Amino acid sequence: MKHIFLLVAVCFFLPFGYGQEDESGSKELEEIKGSIEGLSESFEEYRTVVDALRKIKVTGYIQPQFRLTDLKGASAQFSGGSFPANSNKLFQVRRGRLKVTYDNVPTQYVLQIDAIQTGVTLKDAYVSVTEPWTQSLGFQMGVFDRPFGYEISYSSGSRESPERSRLFQTLFPGERELGAKFFYAPQMGNLSFLRADLGVFNGSGPAANEFDNFKDFIGHIAAQFPLGETGAELDLGVSGYLGNVRSATKYLWENGLTSGMKGFVIDSSATNLGTGVERRYFGVDAQFYYDMPVLGGTTLRAEFITGKQPGGSSAGGFVGSSLTTVSPSAQPAGPIYQRDFTGWYVNLVQNLGTKNQLVVKYDRYDPNTNVGRSDFPGAGLSAADIQFTTLGFGFIHHWDEYVKFVFYYESVSNEEINSAASSSSSLAPFVDDVRDNVFTFRTQVRF
């Protein structure tokens, strides 16, 4: 009886014990479930932030360098900037770029600044929208590279020579422009080898306000052709530029004969005041790449541009440009000189393995194809009409994927004009080759 009574008691009270444990466990499970739900909500919030941050890309590079030239105060406008009057050697930060890209496909926002020892300037600020169906057609507006040729859009952080050719620095100072463009770049299909850009721009450069009512049209069509199974590729392109520069006077100088001498003749028609002086360029570009056995990749690039360029004279026809044909960033204060020009460059880059590169580049810019060295000092001719060539040799060592060292020497030669021009103070230095060769040692770090 005693054992039976104990068994009954255990059977009676056991369910009450298990019920208490069940209740306690349920509470713990509820607490755990609540914690998990809280973590899930926090995770969703963090994921939203992370997804937004993943669309933001921050990149940049810095280019500290040392330059050496022949003479103190040498003019090296197209080789990284002229030297101070009492110096032929200097350290400088050539570029200090910081670029922020927000890529919210199919929309992209880009802002880039350049911070160097002389100040901070805006380089890029634009919005790009691509249609979402085929992702082939898009629209871009703001400050960005002019769609002309190859060298303009080839990043200064990737370019093998320290600077762009004299031709492009003259026609397209600052490379960029304020305006809008449409672009067509098929991602797949039979036309995936093609890209076309067509835009309308102020024509005053990337860092200046518009100064007239004229707008410039710029376009570029490029095509890529893989050459079979050789690993080689050929890229071809054509460009056009249709623009005008407002004349602030009734005086327009054009090429002609004066007393049998080549130079400029003046057109002083009253209708010239306020009219647009033609700015017309036509260009072709080509690039060939071949992965050479043992040595490494070989790249050969070339561009040719011809057309009409409104310019100044050595008397200072353009604001901020006293003896060049650099495109204006402000209203020309004096008479405009209209010139026919040609220019071209050839650039050979040979990889030596994965770490080193050899570079040879030759460029020529003839701002006035209607006159030669024997025509100086013709009617109205100035230093703005002298032809220049530049032969550059370089060696690049890639320390790693972020750091590279550049050693580059530029031999700059001017057209040695008729000795009769020695009577003119502005032309006298160009009777001989001006000593303006430049050596550059550059370190670049990018991220």
The DSSP secondary-structure symbol of 84 reads P
Residue numbers of the domain that contains 153:
56-446
Segment 394-444, tens digit of pLDDT: 999 999 999 999 999 999 999 999 888 887 777 888 999 999 999 999 999
The answer to whether residue 94 is domain-embedded is yes
| pLDDT number for residue 31 | 67
The answer to whether residue 8 is domain-embedded is no
The answer to whether residue 30 is domain-embedded is no
Segment 43-100, tens digit of pLDDT: 666 777 777 788 999 999 999 999 999 999 888 889 999 999 999 999 999 999 999 9
Q: What is the mean pLDDT of residues 131-157?
A: 95
164: tokens are 């762009």
CA end-to-end distance (rounded Å), the chain? 89
pLDDT of 234 above 90: yes
The answer to whether residue 26 is domain-embedded is no
Distance between alpha carbon 229 and the CA centroid of its chain, in Å?
32
What SS3 state is found at 372? coil
Helix H or strand E segment including 373: none
pTM for the whole thing?
0.86
388: tokens are 């220049």
Q: What is the mean pLDDT of residues 18-46?
A: 64
Kind of pairing between the strands at 252-258 and 336-352: parallel
Please give the Cα distance from 156 to 371 (Å, whole number).
34
Q: What is the mean pLDDT of residues 191-217?
A: 94
The answer to whether residue 38 is domain-embedded is no
| pLDDT number for residue 38 | 64
The answer to whether residue 9 is domain-embedded is no
187: tokens are 């991602």
What SS3 state is found at 284? strand
| 352 in Cβ contact with 299 (< 8 Å) | no
Here the CATH number for the domain that contains residue 261 is 2.40.160.10
Alpha helical stretches, state H, 90-198: 166-171
What's the domain count of the chain? 1
Segment 269-302, tens digit of pLDDT: 999 999 999 999 999 999 999 998 888 999 999 9
Please give the Cα distance from 342 to 331 (Å, whole number).
24
The answer to whether residue 125 is domain-embedded is yes
The answer to whether residue 77 is domain-embedded is yes
| 412 in Cβ contact with 79 (< 8 Å) | yes
For residue 226, CA distances in Å to 40, 154, 220, 288, 333 come to 50, 20, 20, 10, 50
